[in-house]
Amino acid sequence: MSENIMQNQLISEFEEIQNNLNGKKQDVFNQSRIKAIEAFGNLSFPTKKDEEWKYSDVKKLVNATYNFHPKSEITHSDLESFELPDLEGIILYFVNGIYHPELSNVSDKDGRIKISTLQEAINDVNPLLTEHYGKYLKSETDAFTAMNSALANDGILVEIPDNVTLEQPIILRMINDTRKENVGSIIRNLIVVGQNAEVKIAEAYRSFGEESGFVNAATEVYVGKDARVDYYKVQNDNDVSYHVGTTQVYLADNSYFYSATITLNGGFVRNNLNLVLDGEHIESHMYGLYIPNKKQHIDNHTVVDHCKPNSVSNELYKGILMDNSTGVFNGKIFVRQIAQKTNAYQNCRNVIISDKASMNTKPQLEIWADDVKCSHGTTTGQLNDEAIFYMQSRGIPKKEAVKLQLLAFASDVVSQIKIDTLRDYLEELVKIKLDEIN
């Protein structure tokens, strides 16, 4: 027996579900879940003694009680209160981890792409489940991943066939309805992008209510030869929320992958973004922006694994830390011995605007090849007072000058976003968040 509340609760809930499965118990997919729950039972949630979790303590989280199967009565008009931008695209709503078709808009589904929820895929025995699901992100990796593999409530499986370009973005809106109680959602996505296919996809997280929400999210992305993927993760949860998420990306020859991870708000956030560059001439970009305030904690861990020669990886994460907030950036770059002519760049820049905020940055480069270009840098600084005085001397009040400077700092990340409405919306959200500067 494990000594935390969450693990005990989830394992006994799993048994209950299994007892009600009857004939479905022997399904291949269910067997994989049984293996995952076994792994989950044998693993412990990380503690601060684990090197990878040194600065991110989940003790409170795993000893809190969450309802992992709550019903939500969220309506269209509730959604309107969010004032979300009018994004054109395939918009799928998940509330408390469960797909809500009545809120979603999949009318643009033009038949070329295959999109289904995890629950549908399980019922239909979708072949993606056997071909790709769990192939890139292994259950045994850690307790959160095992938990996700065993217990995911829902999520989507998308397949973009070879040579198909999907113009409209796919937007996953993940809402935790925490108006009544602590809510836990376990979300699992799989995105398979075929040869020379192209897609833009966004995961947007948002709390609705004052109680604590916990999201355990995992997304696997397979990017085929010559394929192009833009991937966004936007987080805007409440101050008492928890998010632990992993995005695992597999890249084949000549593919292109761009990601932006933008954390506007959240009590405790841990994002793992892992890229496996298993091909040549791959171009990959990882951008990040985090703006914690109050006592928020935001931790980004990234891994780029250069397995083959001639690929490029580029990474820029930026943080603005206010109040008593804390941030973590850990960026690993592996360049295998055969991965000659690799170009790998990593940069993490932070501005700390409060004496009580702090940032831990750790670049980790492990390079076994000799003919490579790699660079990394981290900076953590304060506001530029000279620049602020300069702006004031032109009539711009100090608070506005600070905001202008920080917006400019953030724009290196935000301006990269290629979905126009999303970019404009995020610019607005960044401004709103910066208004909270004291």
Q: Give whichever of 160 and 410 is closer to other proteins, judged by the CB atom.
A: 410
Structure tokens at 365: 């480069």
282 touches 312 (CB < 8 A): yes
Residue 136 tokens, joined: 């890139």
Stretch near other proteins under the rule CB under 8 A, chosen from 84-92, 128-136, 147-155, 387-395 = 387-395
Of 408 and 432, nearer to other proteins (C-beta) is 408
Site size toward other proteins, by CB under 8 A: 22
Residue 389 Cβ vs other proteins, minimum distance, rounded to whole Å? 6
Q: How far is the CB of 176 from other proteins (least distance, A)?
A: 34
Residue 73 CB neighbour total at 10 angstroms:
9
Choose one: 147-155, 201-209, 318-326, 391-399; the region binding other proteins (CB under 8 A).
Answer: 391-399
Report if residue 381 touches other proteins, rule: CB under 8 A. no
Residue 409, interface with other proteins (CB under 8 A)?
yes
Evaluate the CA torsion angle 422, 327, 354, 412 in order and state its sign. Answer: negative
Which residue in the set 19, 77, 107, 393 belongs to the binding site for other proteins (CB under 8 A)?
393
CB nearer other proteins, residue 34 or residue 408? 408
Structure tokens of 216?
């355990």
Among 105, 396, 421, 423, binds other proteins (CB under 8 A): 396
- Among 408, 420, 431, 432, which residue sits at the site for other proteins (rule: CB under 8 A)? 408
Of 29, 412, 416, 423, which one interacts with other proteins (CB under 8 A)? 412
Residue 366: which residues within 8 A CB-CB, separation 6 or more? Answer: 332, 333, 334, 335
Alpha carbons 412 and 287: distance in angstroms, whole number: 9
- Of residues 304-343, those binding other proteins (CB under 8 A): none
Structural contact between residues 238 and 207, judged by C-beta atoms closer than 8 angstroms: yes
Query: Residue 217 in contact with residue 223, Cβ under 8 Å?
Result: no
Least gap, CB of 316 to other proteins (angstroms): 13
- Are residues 421 and 88 in contact, defined by beta-carbon separation less than 8 angstroms? yes
Do residues 136 and 276 touch, judged by C-beta distance below 8 A?
Answer: yes
Residue 392, interface with other proteins (CB under 8 A)?
yes
Nearer to other proteins, 101 or 397 (CB): 397
The tokens describing 338, both together, are 């055969």
Q: Rank residues 172 and 414 by Cβ distance to other proteins and give the closer one.
A: 414
Q: How far is 166 from 262, CA to CA, in rounded Å?
A: 23
What is the DSSP annotation of 78-144?
HHHTT------SEEEEEETTEE-TTT-B-TT--SSSEEEEHHHHHHHT-HHHHHTTTTSS-GGG-HH
Q: Is residue 438 a contact point for other proteins (CB under 8 A)? A: no
347 binds other proteins (CB under 8 A): no
Residue 189 exposure: Cα atoms within 13 Å on the Cβ side: 34
Contacts of 27-32 with CB under 8 Å at 24 or more apart are: 27/122, 27/125, 28/129, 28/130, 29/122, 29/125, 29/129, 29/130, 29/133, 32/133, 32/134, 32/139, 32/149
Give the nearest distance from C-beta 413 to other proteins in angstroms.
11
Q: Of 47, 162, 389, 436, which one interacts with other proteins (CB under 8 A)? A: 389
119-127, 287-295, 359-367, 393-401 -> range binding other proteins (CB under 8 A): 393-401
| Residue among 375 and 415 whose Cβ is closer to other proteins | 415
What is the rounded distance in angstroms from the CA atom of residue 104 to the CA atom of residue 92? Answer: 5
- According to the binding rule CB under 8 A, does residue 377 interact with other proteins? no
Q: Which range, of 78-86, 297-305, 383-391, 425-433, touches other proteins by CB under 8 A?
A: 383-391
Determine if 400 is a binding residue for other proteins (CB under 8 A).
yes
Pairing of strands 98-99, 183-193: unpaired
Measured from the CB of residue 194, what is the shortest distance to other proteins in angstroms?
Answer: 38
Q: Does 284 bind other proteins (CB under 8 A)?
A: no
Sole window of 157-165, 282-290, 325-333, 395-403 interacting with other proteins (rule: CB under 8 A): 395-403
C-beta closer to other proteins: residue 20 or 393: 393
Q: Which parts of this chain interact with other proteins (CB under 8 A)? A: 384, 386-387, 389-398, 400-401, 404-405, 407-409, 411-412
